[in-house]
């Protein structure tokens, strides 16, 4: 594509930016995308709310649409989408990113974005089902939602730009290994785990499907899923506590439907092997049962029991009940085994060093005592940045997660939500660019802390601390760091 003069263009209603919401979002997308690209992305931007011409939109790589009730009523937004589609060749849907600022009915959305996967930047009240706009990206309740979505938006945009810029086949193959993985849709209790696995797969260059929202019609949904499975090298199913909503009366859930279709395809591949119908394409399956799952219905218990006992259905499949990090290792192993030339993931030389000591400004005084103790014990200590520029502070946080040998979260006066957000960041470190999972993880707490299943299953150590007294457990932890 020789006339690509702009990397991205944010298509939004000016009413959604009256408080600077979109401008802040755009700045952070540019920052995250720039880290992946190694340079600042070129953004088509009209500060005076002017409208781009169709010719100019033809020079844009990726259009990012900020969908909202204001967006669908704004004729300029709708015309910009149509002009982008009309002036660009090929599968333009791969070059449109849909961010939802506030939910809009499916039928009201423009055709070009209806079926695109949505990156939702709003919250849902689980008690009354009401939606709320995220007003502050860095609030303690919202940061976890926002940053997870932002990284995915940047990753998808980067992939689209890589394809457009006509990189050599060898270069693309080095980054996108050419594998297609069917990562089955899962239930709400495992959405975070699915997102972590998806980012891990994309980091190693895999195409992850489904890459569009599934149709609501059962037959259309089934056909879409079959096509995605048939073009995949590996299918991964994540099984948690919930069976999920059944698709129709007396029917099965999406969870079970996907597993049934993958089993059917696996049987066909096995039956046609070395015959004239053999497509010479391997197909493997991994079924992961979360080790901390507590089945909330008899139907889910029966479904999982049947998975374990049905040897015919498990032909060509591995069923695992291990920590998430072990699942990631199993996925890499299966993908490597499929390579006809025994390709291996390149092991980068480790550049990690130091202990990243994570704390909140409200705990600065107590935390500083521990920092000094670690330094006096001849350990390099990485600490958070508490600057007025929140974007720079977040960048420093991610850099520390990528470069540290170990991480300790200090819990003094902070809330449970703050702790949960930092714990998730530890597990997402590979998605930030870290070459190896973070092995040494701990919570240092000045009060009685009851570790839950999430903490235990992800091998996060809990260490008691009293201001002025360093307990032996902390010494034991830091001495295990190689």
Q: Is the CB of residue 266 less than 8 Å from the CB of residue 315? A: yes
Q: Which two tokens stand for residue 176?
A: 């996108």
What pLDDT does residue 332 have?
A: 77
171, 188, 372 from 221: Cα distances, Å: 35, 19, 58
Superfamily of domain 1-166: Toll/interleukin-1 receptor homology (TIR) domain (3.40.50.10140)
Q: Is the CB of residue 161 less than 8 Å from the CB of residue 7? A: yes
Cβ neighbours of residue 11 closer than 8 Å, sequence gap 6 or more: 63, 64, 65, 66, 77, 80, 81, 84
* 74-102 per-position pLDDT tens digit: 999 999 999 999 888 767 888 999 999 99
Q: Where does 204-318 have alpha helices with state H?
A: 218-230, 254-271, 298-309
**CA nearest 106: which of 118, 124, 91, 95?**
118
**CA nearest 307: which of 294, 297, 296, 320?**
320
The CATH class of the 169-346 domain is alpha beta
Q: Which residue, chain included where needed, has tokens 């049987």?
A: 267
**CA nearest 239: which of 223, 212, 213, 259?**
259
Q: Which residue, chain included where needed, has tokens 């809990």?
A: 462
What pLDDT does residue 279 have?
A: 60
Pairwise CA distance, residues 66 & 320, whole Å:
39
Pairwise CA distance, residues 275 & 256, whole Å:
30
What pLDDT does residue 387 have?
A: 64
422, 426, 470 from 405: Cα distances, Å: 16, 12, 21
Whether omega for the bond prior to residue 210 falls within 30 degrees of 0, making it cis, is yes
Q: Is the CB of residue 367 less than 8 Å from the CB of residue 357? A: yes
What pLDDT does residue 168 have?
A: 39
- Give me the CATH topology for the region 355-479: Rossmann fold (3.40.50)
Element (H, E) at 10: strand 6-11
Q: Where in the chain is the domain with CATH 3.40.50.10140?
A: 1-166
3-state class of 277 per DSSP?
coil
Q: Which residue, chain included where needed, has tokens 């360093």?
A: 470
CA angle, 440 then 444 then 445, to 5°: 155
What pLDDT does residue 350 have?
A: 39
Q: Is the CB of residue 183 less than 8 Å from the CB of residue 199? A: no
Cβ neighbours of residue 85 closer than 8 Å, sequence gap 6 or more: 92, 112
Q: Which two tokens stand for residue 478?
A: 């830091």
Element (H, E) at 289: strand 284-289
* 353-395 per-position pLDDT tens digit: 789 999 988 888 888 888 988 888 888 899 998 765 556 677 7
Q: What per-residue string of b and e applies to 67-77 under the rule 16 or more CB within 10 Å gives b? A: bbbbbbebeeb
Predicted TM-score (pTM) of the model is 0.46
**DSSP letters for 17-41:** GTTSHHHHHHHHHHHHHHHHHTSPP
Pairwise CA distance, residues 336 & 334, whole Å:
5
What pLDDT does residue 63 have?
A: 96
Q: Which two tokens stand for residue 91?
A: 């599968």
Burial grade of 382 (CB within 10 A; 0-12, 13-18, 19 or more): buried
What pLDDT does residue 2 have?
A: 46
Whether omega for the bond prior to residue 307 falls within 30 degrees of 0, making it cis, is no
Q: Is the CB of residue 177 less than 8 Å from the CB of residue 331? A: no
Mean pLDDT per 10-residue section of the chain, whose length is 482 residues: 78 91 89 80 78 87 95 93 85 88 90 87 71 67 66 84 62 56 91 86 83 87 92 92 81 90 87 64 86 86 81 69 81 66 32 82 87 86 76 77 90 79 76 70 78 74 73 78 68
Q: Is the CB of residue 76 less than 8 Å from the CB of residue 110? A: no
234, 332, 477 from 344: Cα distances, Å: 17, 9, 32
Q: Which two tokens stand for residue 446?
A: 């000045």
What pLDDT does residue 347 have?
A: 30
């Amino acid at each position: 594509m020789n006339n690509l003069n702009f990397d991205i263009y944010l298509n939004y209603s000016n009413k959604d930016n009256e408080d600077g919401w979109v401008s802040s979002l755009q700045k952070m997308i540019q920052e995250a995308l720039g880290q992946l690209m190694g340079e600042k992305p070129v953004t088509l931007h009209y500060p005076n709310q002017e409208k781009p011409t169709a010719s100019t939109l033809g020079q844009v790589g990726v259009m990012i649409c900020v969908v909202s009730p204001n967006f669908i009523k704004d004729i300029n937004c709708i015309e910009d989408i149509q002009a982008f589609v009309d002036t660009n060749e090929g599968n333009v849907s791969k070059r449109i990113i849909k961010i939802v600022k506030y939910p809009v009915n499916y039928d009201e959305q423009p055709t070009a974005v209806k079926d695109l996967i949505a990156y939702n930047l709003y919250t849902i009240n689980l008690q009354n089902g009401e939606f709320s706009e995220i007003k502050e990206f860095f609030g303690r309740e919202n940061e976890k939602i926002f940053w997870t979505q932002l990284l995915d938006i940047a990753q998808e945009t980067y992939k689209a730009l890589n394809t457009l810029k006509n990189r050599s086949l060898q270069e693309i193959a080095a980054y996108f290994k050419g594998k297609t993985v069917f990562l089955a849709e899962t239930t709400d209790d495992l959405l975070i785990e699915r997102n972590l696995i998806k980012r891990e797969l994309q980091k190693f260059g895999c195409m992850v499907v489904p890459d569009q929202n599934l149709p609501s019609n059962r037959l259309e949904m089934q056909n879409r899923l079959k096509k995605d499975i048939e073009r995949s090298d590996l299918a991964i199913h994540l099984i948690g506590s919930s069976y999920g909503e059944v698709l129709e009366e007396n029917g099965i859930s999406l969870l079970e439907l996907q597993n049934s279709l993958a089993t059917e395809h696996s049987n066909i591949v096995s039956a046609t092997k070395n015959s004239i119908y053999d497509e010479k394409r391997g197909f493997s399956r991994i079924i992961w049962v979360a080790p901390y799952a507590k089945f909330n219905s008899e139907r889910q218990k029966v479904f999982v029991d049947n998975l374990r006992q049905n040897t015919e259905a498990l032909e060509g499949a591995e069923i695992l009940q291990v920590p998430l990090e072990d699942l990631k290792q199993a996925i890499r192993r299966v993908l490597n085994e499929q390579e006809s030339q025994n390709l291996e993931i390149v092991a980068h030389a480790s550049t990690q060093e130091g202990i990243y000591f994570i704390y909140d400004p409200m705990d600065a005084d107590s935390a500083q005592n521990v920092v000094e103790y670690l330094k006096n014990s001849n350990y390099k200590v990485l600490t958070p940045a508490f600057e007025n520029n929140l974007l720079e502070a977040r960048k420093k946080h991610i850099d520390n997660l990528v470069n540290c040998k170990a991480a300790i979260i200090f819990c003094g006066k902070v809330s449970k939500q703050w702790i949960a957000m930092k714990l998730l960041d530890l597990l997402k470190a590979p998605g930030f660019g870290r070459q190896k999972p973070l092995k040494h993880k701990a919570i240092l707490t000045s009060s009685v802390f009851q570790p839950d299943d999430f903490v235990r299953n992800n091998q996060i150590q809990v260490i008691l601390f009293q201001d002025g007294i360093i307990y032996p457990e902390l010494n034991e932890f830091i001495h295990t760091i190689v």
